[in-house]
C-alpha cells in the first residue's frame, strides 16, 4: 500500500503526537452523541475530539452514519442526544446559521443561475465588506483554486473538477473555523479525483483550517487524513493515524475494511499464542482466554516466503524451521503489476486459502510457479487475533 | 470495542434553537395555512354543517291570548299547535322549513281582521323560541301585547335541529336524486368518448410521422381557453330548434344528454390529450425494438406494449375527465334542458328556490364522486411518476405512408370538430339575427344593451384574471417553497400539503356555495369581502390552487436540496436565496402558474356564479346570463372575447417566457 509509505506519520511519531494532543484542548469535541430516525438509531454514543488545524476523515461503508454525523456537526440535522463543542462554545442546539463552518456537498450545490464570481461572493455579501473588498477576496479565492479566468462563467459551463473547486472556494470564502466536506470527490472520475486529493490537502495545510471529510474510499482517507475515524453501523470502531488503523486495526471490521486481510478461524491459546487448524502459532499478545473461538488475521504482504522451507544457519549446517513456518502449495498465481498475488493451500488450513503478496524478486528467486510447494512464515508480530465479527 | 446498547439513553433530547430564518419560514407557512383554512376548510365545514341542519316550525313553541272587543283578556292560553289540531290549516309537511322561512299566526284565527279592536298577547314558551314582529326579532318568554294591525305582522321563525333530515328528504324526492344517475351517466359516456378520441389523437401525434403535428397540438389545446358553456352555444346554433344541421339528429333534441356529452367532449379533450400524450411520450423504445425482433405483429405489440405503457395515463385521464364533467355547471345549464344534473341542481336550489340547505345536501352528494375520482387519480399519478423516473430511450416513429395518412385524416376530423365549434360561435356573434337576417353586424357586441353587466363584465374579468394570476402565483409559489424547503415542523408541513391538495377535489359549485355560507354570515369578521372583487379573487385562487401548487412543487423538487444548507452555512438569509436563486431558476414554472391562473380566472363560471355582485359581474357569467335571457348571439360574442383574450395572454406568456429565458437563464445554455 503505497499510501501508507507516503504518509509522514510513522508509528512512533504517531505515538508521540497522541501524547501531545491529549493535553491541548480540542477545537471540536463531540460527546455521547446519539441520532435516531424514528426507531432506527443511526448514531450510537459517538465521542470524538478534533484538534485545531487537523484533517480528519470519517471512513466507513455506505449507510454507516458518516453523513449523519457530519450533518449533526453542522447543525443541519440535529442529533437526538449528546453535546458538540466548538472552540470552547457549546453549539449543540444552535441552528446552522449561528455556527462557524463552511461546507461542500457531494452535489456541490452551486447556484446555477449565478456566475462563478457571484457564487463565491454569495457569503461575502452583507458582511460589512465593501464591494471592492468582496471583489478582491473573490479574485484571491479564484487564484487559490486556480480558476482565475473562469470567474464570469456559469457553473454548468465548468467541468466537474472545476465545479468542485468553486464549491470549495465558496465554502472557505468567509474563512470559517471548520470546513466540512461530504464525499467531495465521489462524483469525479478517478484521475481527477487523485489530483484533487492533493490539491485539497495542500489547500487545507496552507489555510490551516480544521477539516472533516466524509468518504467511503479508504485510499482517499489514508492519503489525505491526519487522523481517520473508522465507523460502522453507527459506532466508531477506531480513531487513529492512517498508519495506525492500517497496522494496528482495533477490530476485525477495521482490519477487513482497510486494506486486504486474511482471516482464518482459530482457537486462542495463552496470550501471544493461537491455534490454527492443527498448528500452534505465536502471534501478537492478546487477552482472549484459552480456548476461545477467534479469528487469526494477517495481511497478504506480511507473509514471508522461504523457498523449500529449509534454512541453513551458521557453519554447523543445522536445518532450522523458523517460528510460524509451514509448507504450502501454490494453487494460483496472479500478476498484479508490482507484485504477485498467490493463493496458497495447506493441510493445516483445511478449508481456507491463504492469500499472499510476493514481490517480483521473491517469485523469481524462489522460482515460484503454480502447484509448486514452498515454506512460508507468518511473522509473529504481524499475526493478529480478533474476536469473530458479527457480519 | 465495548458493546454499545442500541437503545437511546435517558437524558434530555436536544431541542434545536430556531434561527431567524426558521422563524420567518414558519410564520410564512402559518400565514398561508391560515389562508387555506379561512378560504377552504372553514367554508367547506360550514357547508357540511349546513347540510345537516334542518329547520321546522314548532307550533308548540308559542303561547297566545286573545282579548274581547274591549281589549280585556280572560286569561285563556292558546297554542298554535292546539289551534292547528282543531282547524287543520297547516299540514305537518308544511312545517318543515328553510333557514329563512317564516309563517304568519293569523291563519290560526279564521275570523281575524286587522281592523278589529281585539288585542293579542304572544310569547315564546322557551328561551330558544323566536318570532318576528315586522322585521324585529323577539326572543324571551315575556308576554307581548299587540293590536290587531300589528298582530297581522307577527311571523314565527323556524327552529334549527341537526340531523339527516335533509338527506332523507333528498333521497325521497325522485326529482332530486335522479340527477345522481343523470350526472354519472353523462360523466361516464363523456369519459369513454373523450379518452378514446384523445388517445388516438395523442397516439397519432406521438407515434406516427404525419405532418402538421404542431398545428394539431395547438388546436387540441384551444378548448382550454374558453368557458365550458361555449360549446353549448355552438351546439344550439348547429342542432337547436332552428339549427343548421338539426336534421342530423333525426328528431332527437340537442337539449339534454346529447348536447351535454358533445360539449363535454369538447371542453375536456385538451385535458385528456395532455395526460395521455405525456404517458405515450415516456414509453421505452427498447420495448418496441424487442417486440420487432420477436416478430410480434403490430396489433399484438399495440396490446402488449403500447397499452400497458400508457395505462396509467389512460386511467388518470379518465378520472380527470370524469371529474371535470360531473362537476361542470356551465354546459348543462346552457344545453341541459330538462335533463337535471347535480351541479345545476345546486344552482337551482340556491338561486331559484333559495333553499340553501338542500343546495348544501346536493353539494355533499356531488363531492363524493368528485373526491373518489380525485383520490384514484392521485394514486395512479404517483405510480406514473415512478415510471417516469425509470424511463430510458424515447421512441422514434418510422414513416409509414398508410398509417401516417390515416392519422392525418383522423386528426383533421378532430381539429374540424374543435375549430368548428369556435367558428360557429364567432359566426353567430357576427350575424344580425339567426336564421332570418344573415347580414354581418357588430350589434351583438353592444353588450351594454343586454343583461349581464355589459362591457364592464369583460373588464372585470380581465381585472380578476390579473389579480388572480399575480396574487395567486405569489401565494402559491411561496407556500410551496415553504413546505418544500423548510426543515422540521413535520406534521405542520404534512397538513399543509393535504390542504393544498383539497381544492382539486372540491367542485367549483360547492366551493362557491360554501363561500356564501361562510362569508355571507354577518357574524364572520371576514364578512366585509362579500360582494367585492376580493372574494372573487380569493375564491378563484383557492379553486385552482392544487394544480398550481403541484407545478411549483415539481419545479422546486428539481432544485438541489442543499441550497438552503449552503446559504445557512454562509450565514445568508433564506429569503435572499429565494430571491436570488430559487425564483430566477423556477421562473418558467412561475410563468406557467400565472398563465394557468389567468386563463382559468377568465373562463371559470361555477365557483363565482354565487359570488359576483352587480359591481363585479364577469364575462363568463355574462355569457351564462345573456344565454339565459335568450340573447344567445351576444353570449357567443362574449365567449369569443374570452377566447381571444386568453389566446392573446398565451401568446404574451410565450414571448415573455422566451425573453426571460434568454435573459435570466443564460446559464442554461452551455
Ligand atoms: N432522514 C432520514 N430518515 C431515516 N433514516 C435516515 C435518514 N437519513 C439517514 N438515514 C439512515 O441513517 C443511516 C446512516 O445514513 P448516512 O447518510 O449517514 O450514511 P452514510 O454513512 O453517509 O452513507 P453513504 O456512504 O451511503 O453516504 C442509513 O441507514 C440511512 O438509511
Ligand atoms: Mg453519505
List pLDDT tens digits, range B282-329: 766 667 777 777 777 878 888 877 787 788 888 889 998 999 999 999
Alpha helices in chain A (DSSP H): 2-6, 11-23, 66-74, 116-121, 131-144, 160-172, 190-207, 218-224, 242-247, 252-257, 360-366
Same domain, B143 and B79: yes
Is B8–A127 a contact, with Cβ atoms under 8 angstroms apart? Answer: no
CA B481, CA B44: separation in Å to the nearest integer?
26
pLDDT tens for each residue of B31-76: 888 888 899 899 999 999 888 888 888 888 888 888 888 888 888 8
- Identify whether the C-beta of residue A30 lies closer than 8 Å to the C-beta of residue A71: no
pLDDT at A308: 61
pLDDT tens for each residue of A186-214: 888 888 888 889 999 999 999 999 999 99
pLDDT at B518: 93
Mean pLDDT of the region B211-229: 93
pLDDT at B653: 92
Say how many domains are in chain B: 3
Mean pLDDT of the region B418-429: 92
Contacts of B305 (CB under 8 A, 6+ apart): B283, B287, B288, B291
- In ligand 1, the atom with minimum distance to the C-alpha of A35 is 12
Whether the pLDDT of residue B496 is over 60: the answer is: yes
Contacts of B580 in chain A (CB under 8 A): 111, 114, 122
In chain A, what is the greatest distance between 2 CA atoms, to the nearest angstrom? Answer: 86
B238: left (phi over 0), alpha (psi -120 to 50) or beta: alpha
Same domain, B355 and B259: yes
Task: Give the SS3 label for residue B517.
Answer: helix
Assigned CATH for A260-386: 2.40.50.100
Is B562–A107 a contact, with Cβ atoms under 8 angstroms apart? Answer: yes
Same domain, B601 and B499: yes
pLDDT band (50, 70, 90) for residue B664: low
Cβ pairs A/B, distance under 8 A: 123
Does ligand 1 have an atom closer than 6 angstroms to the CB of A232?
A: no
Same domain, B173 and B72: no
Q: CATH code at B589?
A: 1.10.3720.10
Contacts of B382 (CB under 8 A, 6+ apart): none
Same domain, B366 and B514: no
Whether the pLDDT of residue B390 is over 70: the answer is: no
pLDDT at B326: 92
Cell of A168: 470549495
- Cα of A251 to nearest chain B Cα, Å: 7
Same domain, B193 and B297: yes
Min mean pLDDT across A304-318, B183-197, B530-544 is at A304-318
Whether the pLDDT of residue B176 is over 50: the answer is: yes
Same domain, B187 and B292: yes
Q: Partners of B120 in the beta sheet?
A: B66, B146
Residue B439 lies in a domain: no
Q: Does residue A105 sit at the B interface (CB-CB below 8 Å)?
A: yes
For Cα atoms B229, B233, B236, give the angle at the middle one, nearest 5 degrees.
135
Which has the higher per-residue pLDDT, B134 or B670?
B134
Assigned CATH for A2-101+176-256: 3.40.50.300
Please name the residue whose Cα sits nearest to atom 7 of ligand 1.
A37
Task: Give the SS3 label for residue B310.
Answer: helix
Same domain, B494 and B576: yes
The range of the structural domain enclosing residue B195 comes to 168-433
Mean pLDDT of the region B201-219: 90
- Cα of A371 to nearest chain B Cα, Å: 41
Residue to mutate among B24, B566, B588, with most A CBs inside 10 A, is B566
Task: Give the SS3 label for residue B236.
Answer: helix
Is B7–A94 a contact, with Cβ atoms under 8 angstroms apart? Answer: no
pLDDT at B670: 42
- CA distances from residue B213 to A95, A355, B404, B411 in whole angstroms, order as listed: 54, 66, 11, 9
Among B16, B18, B581, beta carbon nearest to A111:
B581
Mean pLDDT, each 10-residue run in order, chain A (391 residues): 40 42 77 92 94 95 93 92 93 92 92 93 89 94 91 89 93 94 88 89 93 93 94 94 93 91 88 84 88 90 76 54 81 90 80 86 88 87 86 46
Which has the higher per-residue pLDDT, B244 or B203?
B203
CA B640, CA B632: separation in Å to the nearest integer?
12
Cell of B462: 380581465
**DSSP assignment, residue B13?**
P
Task: Give the SS3 label for residue A52.
Answer: coil
User: Considering only CA atoms, which of B149, B582, B50, B139 is closest in space to residue B355?
Assistant: B50
Same domain, B416 and B523: no
Q: How much distance in Å is there from the Cα of A246 to the middle of ligand 2?
A: 23
Contacts of B22 in chain A (CB under 8 A): 95
Same domain, B123 and B152: yes
Same domain, B261 and B156: no
- Computed over every residue of chain B, the mean pLDDT equals 87
Please name the residue whose Cα sits nearest to atom 19 of ligand 1.
A63
Q: How much distance in Å is there from the Cα of B555 to the middle of ligand 1?
A: 25
Q: Which residue of chain B is at minimal alpha-carbon distance from A115?
A: B667
Q: How much distance in Å is there from the Cα of B578 to the middle of ligand 2?
A: 26
Mean pLDDT of the region B488-504: 82
- Cα of B589 to nearest chain A Cα, Å: 15
pLDDT at A287: 86
Phi, psi of B622 (to 5 degrees): -60, -40
Q: Partners of A240 in the beta sheet?
A: A228
CA A61, CA A65: separation in Å to the nearest integer?
9
- Identify whether the C-beta of residue B544 lies closer than 8 Å to the C-beta of residue B39: no
Q: Which ligand is nearest to the CA of A233?
A: 1
pLDDT tens for each residue of B600-615: 999 999 889 999 999 9
Domain boundaries, chain A: 2-101+176-256, 260-386
Same domain, B298 and B407: yes
Q: How much distance in Å is there from the Cα of B478 to the middle of ligand 2?
A: 30
Residue B226 lies in a domain: yes
The best mutation among A68, A105, A183 to test binding of ligand 1, ranked by most ligand atoms within 8 Å of the C-beta, falls on: A68
Please name the residue whose Cα sits nearest to atom 14 of ligand 1.
A65
Please name the residue whose Cα sits nearest to atom 16 of ligand 1.
A65
Does ligand 1 have an atom closer than 6 angstroms to the CB of A42?
A: yes
Instruction: Identify the residue whose cell numbers are 394539431.
Output: B216
Amino acid at each position: 500500500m503505497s499510501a501508507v509509505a507516503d504518509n509522514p506519520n510513522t508509528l512512533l511519531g504517531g505515538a508521540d503526537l497522541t501524547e501531545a494532543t491529549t493535553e491541548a484542548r480540542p477545537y471540536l469535541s463531540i460527546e455521547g452523541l446519539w441520532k435516531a430516525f424514528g426507531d432506527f438509531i443511526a448514531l450510537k454514543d459517538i465521542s470524538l475530539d478534533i484538534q485545531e488545524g487537523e484533517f480528519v476523515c470519517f471512513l466507513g461503508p455506505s449507510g454507516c452514519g458518516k453523513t449523519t454525523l457530519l450533518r449533526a456537526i453542522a447543525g443541519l440535522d440535529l442529533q437526538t442526544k449528546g453535546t458538540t463543542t466548538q472552540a470552547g462554545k457549546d453549539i449543540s442546539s444552535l441552528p446552522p446559521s449561528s455556527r462557524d463552518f463552511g461546507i461542500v456537498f457531494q452535489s456541490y450545490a452551486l447556484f446555477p443561475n449565478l456566475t462563478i464570481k457571484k457564487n463565491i461572493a454569495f457569503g461575502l455579501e452583507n458582511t460589512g465588506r465593501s464591494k471592492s473588498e468582496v471583489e478582491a477576496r473573490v479574485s484571491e479565492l479564484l487564484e487559490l483554486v486556480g480558476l482565475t479566468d473562469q470567474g464570469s462563467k456559469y457553473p454548468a459551463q465548468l467541468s466537474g473538477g472545476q465545479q468542485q473547486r468553486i464549491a470549495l472556494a465558496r465554502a472557505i470564502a468567509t474563512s470559517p473555523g471548520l470546513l466540512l466536506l461530504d464525499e467531495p470527490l465521489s462524483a469525479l472520475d478517478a484521475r481527477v479525483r487523485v489530483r484533487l486529493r492533493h490539491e485539497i490537502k495542500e489547500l487545507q495545510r496552507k489555510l490551516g483550517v480544521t477539516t472533516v471529510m466524509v468518504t467511503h474510499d479508504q485510499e482517499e482517507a489514508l492519503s489525505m487524513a491526519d487522523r481517520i475515524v473508522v465507523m460502522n453501523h453507527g459506532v466508531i470502531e477506531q480513531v487513529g493515524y492512517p498508519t495506525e488503523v492500517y497496522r494496528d486495526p482495533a477490530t476485525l471490521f477495521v482490519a477487513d475494511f482497510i486494506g486486504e486481510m486474511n482471516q482464518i478461524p482459530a482457537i486462542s491459546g495463552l496470550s501471544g499464542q493461537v491455534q490454527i487448524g492443527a498448528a500452534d502459532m505465536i502471534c501478537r499478545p492478546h487477552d482472549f482466554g484459552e480456548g476461545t473461538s477467534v479469528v487469526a488475521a494477517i495481511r497478504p504482504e506480511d507473509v514471508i516466503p522461504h523457498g523449500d522451507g529449509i534454512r541453513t544457519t551458521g557453519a554447523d549446517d543445522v536445518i532450522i524451521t523458523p517460528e510460524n513456518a509451514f509448507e504450502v502449495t501454490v494453487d494460483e498465481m496472479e500478476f498484479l503489476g508490482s507484485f504477485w498475488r498467490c493463493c496458497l493451500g495447506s493441510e493445516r488450513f483445511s478449508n481456507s486459502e491463504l492469500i499472499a503478496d510476493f514481490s517480483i524478486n521473491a517469485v523469481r528467486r524462489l522460482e515460484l510457479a503454480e502447484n509448486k510447494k514452498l515454506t512460508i512464515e507468518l511473522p509473529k508480530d504481524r499475526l493478529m487475533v480478533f474476536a469473530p465479527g458479527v457480519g | 470495542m465495548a458493546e454499545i446498547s442500541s437503545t437511546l439513553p435517558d437524558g434530555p433530547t436536544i431541542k434545536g434553537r430556531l434561527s431567524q430564518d426558521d422563524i420567518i419560514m414558519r410564520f410564512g407557512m402559518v400565514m398561508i395555512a391560515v389562508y387555506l383554512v379561512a378560504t377552504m376548510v372553514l367554508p367547506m365545514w360550514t357547508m357540511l354543517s349546513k347540510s345537516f341542519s334542518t329547520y321546522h316550525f314548532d307550533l308548540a313553541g308559542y303561547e297566545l291570548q286573545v282579548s274581547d272587543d274591549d281589549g280585556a283578556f280572560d286569561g285563556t292560553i292558546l297554542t298554535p299547535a292546539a289551534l292547528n289540531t282543531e282547524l287543520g290549516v297547516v299540514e305537518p309537511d308544511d312545517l318543515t322549513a328553510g333557514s329563512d322561512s317564516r309563517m304568519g299566526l293569523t291563519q290560526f284565527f279564521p275570523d281575524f281582521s286587522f281592523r278589529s279592536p281585539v288585542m293579542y298577547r304572544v310569547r315564546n314558551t322557551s328561551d330558544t323560541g323566536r318570532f318576528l314582529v315586522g322585521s324585529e326579532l323577539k326572543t324571551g318568554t315575556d308576554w307581548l301585547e299587540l293590536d290587531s294591525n300589528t298582530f297581522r305582522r307577527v311571523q314565527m321563525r323556524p327552529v334549527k335541529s341537526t340531523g339527516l333530515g335533509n338527506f332523507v328528504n333528498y333521497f325521497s324526492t325522485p326529482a332530486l336524486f335522479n340527477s345522481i344517475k343523470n350526472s354519472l351517466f353523462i360523466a361516464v359516456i363523456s369519459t369513454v368518448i373523450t379518452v378514446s378520441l384523445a388517445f388516438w389523437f395523442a397516439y397519432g401525434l406521438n407515434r406516427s410521422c404525419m405532418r402538421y403535428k404542431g398545428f394539431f397540438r395547438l388546436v387540441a389545446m384551444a378548448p382550454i381557453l374558453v368557458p365550458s358553456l361555449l360549446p353549448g352555444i355552438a351546439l344550439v346554433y348547429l342542432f337547436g330548434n332552428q339549427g343548421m344541421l338539426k336534421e342530423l339528429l333525426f328528431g332527437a333534441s340537442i337539449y339534454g344528454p346529447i348536447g351535454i356529452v358533445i360539449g363535454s367532449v369538447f371542453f375536456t379533450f385538451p385535458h385528456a390529450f395532455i395526460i395521455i400524450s405525456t404517458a405515450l411520450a415516456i414509453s421505452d423504445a427498447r420495448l418496441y425494438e424487442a417486440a420487432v425482433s420477436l416478430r410480434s405483429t403490430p396489433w399484438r405489440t399495440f396490446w402488449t406494449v403500447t397499452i400497458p405503457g400508457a395505462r396509467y395515463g389512460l386511467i388518470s385521464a379518465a378520472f380527470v375527465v370524469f371529474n371535470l364533467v360531473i362537476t361542470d355547471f356551465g354546459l348543462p345549464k346552457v344545453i341541459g334542458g330538462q335533463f337535471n344534473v347535480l351541479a345545476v341542481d345546486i344552482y337551482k336550489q340556491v338561486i331559484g328556490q333559495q333553499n340553501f340547505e338542500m343546495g348544501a345536501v346536493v353539494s355533499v352528494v356531488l363531492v363524493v364522486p368528485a373526491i373518489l375520482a380525485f383520490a384514484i387519480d392521485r394514486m395512479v399519478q404517483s405510480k406514473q411518476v415512478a415510471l417516469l423516473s425509470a424511463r430510458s430511450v424515447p421512441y422514434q416513429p418510422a414513416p409509414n405512408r398508410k398509417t401516417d395518412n390515416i392519422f392525418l385524416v383522423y386528426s383533421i376530423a378532430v381539429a374540424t370538430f374543435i375549430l368548428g365549434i369556435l367558428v360557429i360561435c364567432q359566426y353567430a356573434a357576427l350575424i344580425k339575427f339567426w336564421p332570418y337576417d344573415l347580414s354581418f353586424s357588430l350589434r351583438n357586441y353592444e353588450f351594454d344593451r343586454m343583461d349581464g353587466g355589459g362591457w364592464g363584465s369583460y373588464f372585470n374579468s380581465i381585472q380578476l384574471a390579473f389579480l388572480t394570476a399575480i396574487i395567486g402565483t405569489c401565494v402559491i409559489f411561496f407556500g410551496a417553497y415553504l413546505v418544500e424547503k423548510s426543515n422540521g415542523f413535520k406534521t405542520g408541513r404534512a397538513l399543509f400539503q393535504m390542504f393544498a391538495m383539497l381544492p382539486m377535489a372540491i367542485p367549483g359549485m360547492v366551493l362557491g356555495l360554501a363561500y356564501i355560507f361562510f362569508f355571507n354570515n354577518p357574524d364572520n369578521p371576514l364578512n366585509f369581502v362579500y360582494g367585492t372583487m376580493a372574494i372573487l379573487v380569493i375564491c378563484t385562487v383557492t379553486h385552482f390552487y392544487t394544480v398550481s401548487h403541484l407545478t411549483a412543487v415539481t419545479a422546486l423538487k428539481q432544485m438541489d436540496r442543499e441550497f438552503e444548507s449552503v446559504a445557512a452555512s454562509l450565514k445568508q438569509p433564506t429569503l435572499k436565496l429565494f430571491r436570488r436563486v430559487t425564483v430566477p431558476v423556477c421562473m418558467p414554472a412561475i410563468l406557467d402558474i400565472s398563465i394557468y391562473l389567468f386563463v382559468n380566472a377568465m373562463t371559470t363560471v361555477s365557483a363565482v356564479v354565487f359570488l359576483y355582485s352587480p359591481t363585479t359581474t364577469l364575462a363568463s357569467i355574462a355569457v351564462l346570463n345573456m344565454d339565459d335571457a335568450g340573447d344567445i348571439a351576444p353570449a357567443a360574442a362574449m365567449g369569443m372575447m374570452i377566447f381571444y383574450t386568453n389566446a392573446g395572454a398565451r401568446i404574451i406568456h410565450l414571448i415573455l417566457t422566451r425573453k426571460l429565458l434568454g435573459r435570466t437563464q443564460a446559464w442554461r445554455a452551455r
